[in-house]
């Protein structure tokens, strides 16, 4: 690649990363101003940020961004850094199956479902497959289709449908239920007002992961998420019917606010009548005045923020209309302001909707609003206007002032296109619904009214009705995008949602613990950078300075890419950054060590640089690709923080390669052009491990015996002592508790054991005044009542510690089903990693002995690391729980182990390709390969160990076990790559050469030519 192209790439990537990170700088500045303004008042701070959500805060000249847009592009902090709530919702598929079959009383059906539910807790087979298999096993005579061939399902399932037809249909309904639940939850959370929520369906499961940073009202969140979806159809009022009422509300507000009356005072009927009469006379003047404020626009939806910038006099005289723009337009013929026909009665900036709701909830205003009128907001801004919501006038004309029809009559809804290729939604109803729909649409068509589709008191659409619809099959059209019709179809199906969603996993992190995590992570990152830089300069002299510049660029690029991907930065993510700084020098070490070898051959410094990069490239790529593959497996099998770690690890590998290969090369080219001397070492480090000639093959059996003893001890500890499993592997509830003073963990454990009536795990967590409490009490129950019961008993036990106040900093809940699933996925991830690594090595090196040697080393490392966690658990003063973080650590170790091993393999392959290589004894060749890469192996390992030691000491208690696992694992992995992997190739090949001799190749060629 040309030098000019490299410079261009560096400049482009730098500018792109600076652009991505700039949003974070902007939002942090805005939030700092908000905090200073609020002076500790969180409600005031939130109101400040809400008020500027649609205001421009970032101007790049070619593009302008509001605070809301900048916030959407920032590098967000995860729950473990910011505090908040993490919830996993599970869609009840057994309830879905029962309801789709109209809750049959058949014993075989219910027994099969009960057995399937029990088996689903210990297997990854879908509940639907398990259920159908169990029903078949009962030997029942009734076909399974007969249970689902109901009136509502008649258009898809009949009594003659096959088992496969039922299976396909049930799985489709299950997918629909999950998608519909996702849509409902998404909308509810958006209404809740959480900044940067993360909501995603866990692929291949019936679970939805929800992360809510900054949330501190956990009880409200639980109720919000677990409530049933309520889809309703309402008749509507016309704008012209409501405008006088809005005037009345506006005038009443002005009067009461001016006179500073208590909000509890309610105007008398005579006062209301007088106000209503007065406002009727002024309707035309007020319309003209409001129209003038709109500067000739057709609707408030297309205005700027003029309504938010009215002067104080206008605010006092028209408090409602200062924040709510009536739905009006300017008549092109007369120039007069007219009311827009339809159910929309006004538009408001998103930031003002809370104020309008507060106005409408005032007692004196509620007394004015008729009982059969609901003023409801649209679900989202219309016509691509990000700042304004429409307000609808809903007529409560059904039973008890309710809807005219509910969503349970809908049998199906699909998105599609009409004959003009316009996006539409098709909706089908059952017989009862069709009859009601015929009556409702006939009346709406006669009055030219709209029918509002309302879910959870939010209007999703209010289509006009042109004619009576007799059969329940309707088409809904409008100014829809394709995404709009998909969403609306999902909403309509949600009304008949035949299942519920319940919380099966929950983690609550207090902001105080989050701040400690931030401080720990930042400190470890800074110290890690300093340690790496100091070591590189101390060992490689001026070349070390070039490597340090590459490390700085690497961190900058890594953060920029994370920001551009809208990634969420978690504590394991920071650990990944710190680890990346250690491994970032790996490519530089490979290059520098190779350059030192080339320099020892007497080559010119320009040739040394060129050949060093050229010959190091295969080892660099092979070693980094294997680690990247492990990160990829972690990303797809892990969840939450583990995905954050995997994302950081993979991006870090890519940016490390870019900076080590290109940026350091640019620096060396610059030094060569300016005739600046390039030094690769100091006198003390110049001969480190140079010309090493350790007899690894001759002494291999000693290493084999030592490793065998260590493996046997580790397996013995695993089988006898076992592990201390984290809550995400065994289920239960975990709480982090901080006392004012030091506390005796044994005393707390005894108190809690007596209260819970079961064994409780209590461990010191960091300082002696902080504990982590884990209990399996009520493990099978995930309801709010069970949560409260466990928390109540916990508080009862903790309060027995006299004279020592405490605070619960965080809590986590994991149901037994999801714990089993996480554990299974972790095992599959470890096995898959070893298989993928072995397959990659087989493809790259073409000999099974290489794959087997790498597999032996990685399995050896995994067993010993697990054994150490078993042996040391309870002995060391920090947690060694086996959880998702441990799985991430062990897979990282496996990746690093193969990274080291592949470097030796690459050098061995290089030696075996040399002319007459077969004339040298295989053991001698392997020995040379290990010795020639020994300096690289040791230097890279030392660098990573330095960084991990910093992470272990300064990274905080939350990831101390995680960093300990990687730290110990790196030491073991370095040992195995030297003493086991390559020597294993010698024994697996019977001491014979893996490379073909020239004579062998000649004989093969002769056989091909000879007829």
Nearest to 343 by CA among 396, 390, 298: 390
Q: Are residues 151 and 10 in the same domain?
A: no
447: which residues sit within 8 A by CB, 6+ positions away? none
Q: Are residues 8 and 100 in the same domain?
A: no
> What's the CA gap between 156 and 150, in Å, rounded?
10
740 inside domain = yes
> What's the CA gap between 469 and 827, in Å, rounded?
56
357 inside domain = no
pLDDT digits (tens, 9 = 90+) for 67-99: 878 887 888 777 777 777 878 888 888 888 888
Q: Are residues 839 and 950 in the same domain?
A: yes
Q: How long is the chain? A: 1011
> What's the CA gap between 191 and 129, in Å, rounded?
37
Average pLDDT, the chain: 80
443 inside domain = no
Nearest to 868 by CA among 892, 889, 899: 889
pLDDT at 1002 over 70: no
State the residue range of the domain holding 777: 732-814
473 inside domain = no
What confidence score (pLDDT) does residue 944 get?
A: 82
Asked if 891 and 830 touch (Cβ cutoff 8 Å), the reply is yes
What confidence score (pLDDT) does residue 304 get?
A: 38
Dihedral sign, CA of 539, 542, 547, 551? positive
What confidence score (pLDDT) does residue 462 get?
A: 86
What confidence score (pLDDT) does residue 494 get?
A: 59
> What's the CA gap between 709 and 696, in Å, rounded?
19
Provide the CA 47 distance to its chain's centre, in angstroms: 27
- DSSP symbol at 340: P
State the DSSP H helix or E strand holding residue 933, giving kind and residue range, or none if neither. none
Pairing of strands 231-236, 405-406: antiparallel
472 inside domain = no
What confidence score (pLDDT) does residue 1003 get?
A: 53
> What's the CA gap between 665 and 660, in Å, rounded?
8
pLDDT digits (tens, 9 = 90+) for 239-277: 889 999 999 999 898 888 876 544 333 333 333 333 333
> What's the CA gap between 923 and 987, in Å, rounded?
9
990: which residues sit within 8 A by CB, 6+ positions away? none
963 inside domain = yes
Q: What's the burial of 192, exposed, middle or buried (CB within 10 Å: 0-12/13-18/19+)?
A: middle
500: which residues sit within 8 A by CB, 6+ positions away? 91, 92, 95, 226, 228
Mean pLDDT of 598-603: 88
- CA distances to 107, 710, 935 from 698, in Å: 71, 21, 20
pLDDT band at 512 (very low <50, low <70, confident <90, very high): low
> What's the CA gap between 620 and 618, in Å, rounded?
5
In this predicted model, which residue has the larger pLDDT, 839 or 813? 839
Q: Side-chain half-sphere of 444: how many Cα atoms within 13 Å?
A: 29
| Cα first-last separation, the chain | 47
Token pair belonging to 529: 């950078």
Q: Hey, which of 102-111, 288-297, 392-401 has the most confident mean pLDDT? A: 102-111
- DSSP symbol at 661: I
Angle formed by the axes of helices 641-658 and 542-564, to 10°?
Answer: 130
Which of 786, 814, 842 corresponds to the end of one domain? 814
Provide the CA 333 distance to its chain's centre, in angstroms: 55
> What's the CA gap between 218 and 79, in Å, rounded?
14
Token pair belonging to 691: 């010309």
What confidence score (pLDDT) does residue 109 get?
A: 92
pLDDT band at 707 (very low <50, low <70, confident <90, very high): very high
Asked if 761 and 776 touch (Cβ cutoff 8 Å), the reply is no
What confidence score (pLDDT) does residue 383 get?
A: 61
> What's the CA gap between 414 and 503, in Å, rounded?
29
> What's the CA gap between 732 and 726, in Å, rounded?
9
Q: Are residues 831 and 810 in the same domain?
A: no
Q: Are residues 701 and 573 in the same domain?
A: yes
Q: Are residues 839 and 969 in the same domain?
A: yes
pLDDT band at 730 (very low <50, low <70, confident <90, very high): confident
Asked if 68 and 52 touch (Cβ cutoff 8 Å), the reply is no
- CA distances to 105, 110, 161, 723 from 145, in Å: 15, 15, 6, 47
298 inside domain = no
CA dihedral 31, 33, 35, 39 (to 10 degrees): -170
- The full DSSP string for 413-446 is EEEEE-TT--EEEEEEE-HHHHHHHHHHHHHHHH
Number of domains in the chain: 4
Which of 74, 98, 125 corresponds to the end of one domain? 74
pLDDT digits (tens, 9 = 90+) for 970-991: 899 899 989 999 999 999 988 7
Asked if 375 and 393 touch (Cβ cutoff 8 Å), the reply is yes
CATH number at residue 761: 3.30.70.3400
Asked if 864 and 894 touch (Cβ cutoff 8 Å), the reply is no
- DSSP symbol at 450: B
259 inside domain = no
pLDDT digits (tens, 9 = 90+) for 784-833: 678 888 888 888 888 888 888 888 888 877 766 666 766 777 777 778 88
In this predicted model, which residue has the larger pLDDT, 284 or 194? 194
Asked if 825 and 630 touch (Cβ cutoff 8 Å), the reply is no
Q: Are residues 652 and 535 in the same domain?
A: yes
pLDDT band at 228 (very low <50, low <70, confident <90, very high): low
Asked if 20 and 6 touch (Cβ cutoff 8 Å), the reply is no
Provide the CA 844 distance to its chain's centre, in angstroms: 34
Provide the CA 304 distance to its chain's centre, in angstroms: 35
Token pair belonging to 952: 């272990």
What confidence score (pLDDT) does residue 896 get?
A: 78
What confidence score (pLDDT) does residue 272 get?
A: 32
What confidence score (pLDDT) does residue 270 get?
A: 35
Q: What's the burial of 949, exposed, middle or buried (CB within 10 Å: 0-12/13-18/19+)?
A: middle
- CA distances to 209, 210, 227, 548, 730 from 502, in Å: 12, 12, 9, 50, 19
pLDDT at 350 over 60: yes
Q: Are residues 657 and 741 in the same domain?
A: no
Dihedral sign, CA of 741, 745, 746, 749? positive
Angle at 664 between CA 661 and CA 669, to 5 degrees: 110
- CA distances to 58, 59, 65, 386, 568 from 62, in Å: 11, 8, 10, 19, 27
What confidence score (pLDDT) does residue 284 get?
A: 47
Token pair belonging to 532: 């790496």
- CA distances to 93, 908, 921, 993 from 990, in Å: 56, 16, 12, 9
Q: Are residues 843 and 789 in the same domain?
A: no
Q: Are residues 742 and 850 in the same domain?
A: no
pLDDT digits (tens, 9 = 90+) for 574-594: 777 777 777 777 788 888 888
Q: Are residues 780 and 827 in the same domain?
A: no
In this predicted model, which residue has the larger pLDDT, 40 or 937? 937
Dihedral sign, CA of 426, 430, 432, 434? positive
pLDDT digits (tens, 9 = 90+) for 282-326: 444 555 555 544 433 343 333 333 333 445 556 667 888 888 889
pLDDT band at 22 (very low <50, low <70, confident <90, very high): very high
What confidence score (pLDDT) does residue 299 get?
A: 39
> What's the CA gap between 568 and 74, in Å, rounded?
9
pLDDT band at 111 (very low <50, low <70, confident <90, very high): very high
Angle formed by the axes of helices 848-872 and 960-976, to 10°?
Answer: 140
Provide the CA 487 distance to its chain's centre, in angstroms: 22
pLDDT at 913 over 70: yes
- The full DSSP string for 380-407 is S-STT-SSEEEEEEEE--SGGG--SEEG
Which of 198, 225, 252 corresponds to the end of one domain? 225
pLDDT band at 545 (very low <50, low <70, confident <90, very high): very high
> What's the CA gap between 485 and 463, in Å, rounded?
13
Which range has the worst mean pLDDT, 293-307, 494-508, 589-603, 704-718? 293-307
Q: Are residues 857 and 794 in the same domain?
A: no
Token pair belonging to 45: 């701070």
Determine what percent of the chain is predicted with pLDDT higher than 70.
86
In this predicted model, which residue has the larger pLDDT, 591 or 732? 591
> What's the CA gap between 22 and 25, in Å, rounded?
5
């Amino acid at each position: 690649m040309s030098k000019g192209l490299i410079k261009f790439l560096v400049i482009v990537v730098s500018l792109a990363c600076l652009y991505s990170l700039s949003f974070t700088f902007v939002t942090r500045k805005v939030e700092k101003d908000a905090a200073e303004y609020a002076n500790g008042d969180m409600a005031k701070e939130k109101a400040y940020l809400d008020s500027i959500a649609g205001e421009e805060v970032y101007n790049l000249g070619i593009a302008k961004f509001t605070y809301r847009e900048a916030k959407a592009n920032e590098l967000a902090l995860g729950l473990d850094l910011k505090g908040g709530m993490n919830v996993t919702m599970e869609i009840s598929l057994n309830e879905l199956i029962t309801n789709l079959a109209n809750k049959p009383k058949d014993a075989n059906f219910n027994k099969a479902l009960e057995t399937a539910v029990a088996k689903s807790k210990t297997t990854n087979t879908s509940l639907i497959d398990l259920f159908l298999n169990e029903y078949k096993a009962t030997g029942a005579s009734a076909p399974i289709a007969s249970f689902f061939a109901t009136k509502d399902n008649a258009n898809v399932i009949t009594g003659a449908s096959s088992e496969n037809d039922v299976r396909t249909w049930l799985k489709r309904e299950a997918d629909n239920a999950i998608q519909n639940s996702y849509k409902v939850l998404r909308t509810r959370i958006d209404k809740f007002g959480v900044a940067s929520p993360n909501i995603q369906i866990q692929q291949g499961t019936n679970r939805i992961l929800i992360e809510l940073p900054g949330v501190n009202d956990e009880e409200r969140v639980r109720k919000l998420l677990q409530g049933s979806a309520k889809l309703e159809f309402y008749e509507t009022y016309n704008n012209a019917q409501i405008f006088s009422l809005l005037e009345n509300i506006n005038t009443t507000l002005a009067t009461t606010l001016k006179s500073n009356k208590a909000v509890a005072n309610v105007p008398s009927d005579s006062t209301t009548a007088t106000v209503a009469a007065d406002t009727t006379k002024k309707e035309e003047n007020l319309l003209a005045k409001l129209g003038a404020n709109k500067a000739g626009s057709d609707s408030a939806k297309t205005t700027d923020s003029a309504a938010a910038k009215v002067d104080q006099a206008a605010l006092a005289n028209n408090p409602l209309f200062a924040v709510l723009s009536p739905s009006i337009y300017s008549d092109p013929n007369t120039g007069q302001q007219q009311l827009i026909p339809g159910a929309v009665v006004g538009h408001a900036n998103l930031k003002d909707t809370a104020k309008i709701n507060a106005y409408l909830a005032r007692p004196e205003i509620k007394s004015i609003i008729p009982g059969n009128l609901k003023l409801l907001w649209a679900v989202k801004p219309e016509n691509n206007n990000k700042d304004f919501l429409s307000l609808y006038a809903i007529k409560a004309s059904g039973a008890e002032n309710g809807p005219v029809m509910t969503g349970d009559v809908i049998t199906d809804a699909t998105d599609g296109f009409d004959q003009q290729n316009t996006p539409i939604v098709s909706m089908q109803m059952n017989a009862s619904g069709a009859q009601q729909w015929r009556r409702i649409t006939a009346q709406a068509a006669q009055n030219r009214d709209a029918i509002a589709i309302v879910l959870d008191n939010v209007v999703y659409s209010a289509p006009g009705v042109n004619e009576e619809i007799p059969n329940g099959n309707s088409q809904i059209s409008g100014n829809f995008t394709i995404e709009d019709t998909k969403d609306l179809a999902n909403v309509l199906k949600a009304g008949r949602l035949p299942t519920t969603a319940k919380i099966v996993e929950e983690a609550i992190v207090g902001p105080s613990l989050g701040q400690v995590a931030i401080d720990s992570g930042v400190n470890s990152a800074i110290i890690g950078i300093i340690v790496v830089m100091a070591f590189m300069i101390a060992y490689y002299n001026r070349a070390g300075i070039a490597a340090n510049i590459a490390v700085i660029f690497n961190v900058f690029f890594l953060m920029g890419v994370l920001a551009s991907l809208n990634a969420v930065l978690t504590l394991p993510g920071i650990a990944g950054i710190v680890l990346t700084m250690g491994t970032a020098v790996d490519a530089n070490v490979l290059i520098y060590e190779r350059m030192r070898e080339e320099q020892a051959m007497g080559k010119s410094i320009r040739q040394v640089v060129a050949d060093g990069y050229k010959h190091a490239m295969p080892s660099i790529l092979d070693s980094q690709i294997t680690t990247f593959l492990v990160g990829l497996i972690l990303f797809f099998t892990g969840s939450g923080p583990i995905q954050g770690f995997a994302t950081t690890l993979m991006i870090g590998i890519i940016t490390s390669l870019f900076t080590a290969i290109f940026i350091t090369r640019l620096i060396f080219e610059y030094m060569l052009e300016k005739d600046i001397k390039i030094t690769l070492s100091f006198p003390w480090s110049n001969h480190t491990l140079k010309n090493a000639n350790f007899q690894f093959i001759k002494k291999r059996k000693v290493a084999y015996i030592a490793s065998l003893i260590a493996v046997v001890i580790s397996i013995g500890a695993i089988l006898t002592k076992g592990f201390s499993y984290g809550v995400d592997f065994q289920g239960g509830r975990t709480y982090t508790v901080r006392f004012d003073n030091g506390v005796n963990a044994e005393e707390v454990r005894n108190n809690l054991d007596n209260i819970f009536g079961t064994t409780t795990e209590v461990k010191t967590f960091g300082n002696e005044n902080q504990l982590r409490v884990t209990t399996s009490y009520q493990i099978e129950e995930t309801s709010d009542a069970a949560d409260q019961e466990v928390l109540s008993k916990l508080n009862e036990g903790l309060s027995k510690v006299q004279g020592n106040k405490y605070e619960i900093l965080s809590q986590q809940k994991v149901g037994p089903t999801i714990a089993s699933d996480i554990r299974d996925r972790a095992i599959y991830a470890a096995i898959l990693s070893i298989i993928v690594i072995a397959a990659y090595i087989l493809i790259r090196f073409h000999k099974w002995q290489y794959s087997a040697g790498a597999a032996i080393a990685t399995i050896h490392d995994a067993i010993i690391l697990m054994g150490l966690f078993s042996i040391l658990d309870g002995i060391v003063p920090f947690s060694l729980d086996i959880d998702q973080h441990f799985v991430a650590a062990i897979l990282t170790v496996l990746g690093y182990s193969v990274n080291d091993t592949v470097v030796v393999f690459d050098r061995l392959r290089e030696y075996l390709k040399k002319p007459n290589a077969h004339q040298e004894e295989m053991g001698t060749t392997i020995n040379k390969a290990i010795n020639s890469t020994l300096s690289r192996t040791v230097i890279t390992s030392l660098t990573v160990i330095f960084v991990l030691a910093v992470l272990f000491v300064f990274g905080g208690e939350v990831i101390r076990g995680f960093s300990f696992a990687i730290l110990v694992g790196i030491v073991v992995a370095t040992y195995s790559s030297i003493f086991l992997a390559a020597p294993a190739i010698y024994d697996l090949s019977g001491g014979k050469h893996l490379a073909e001799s020239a004579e062998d190749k000649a004989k093969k060629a002769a056989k091909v030519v000879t007829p």
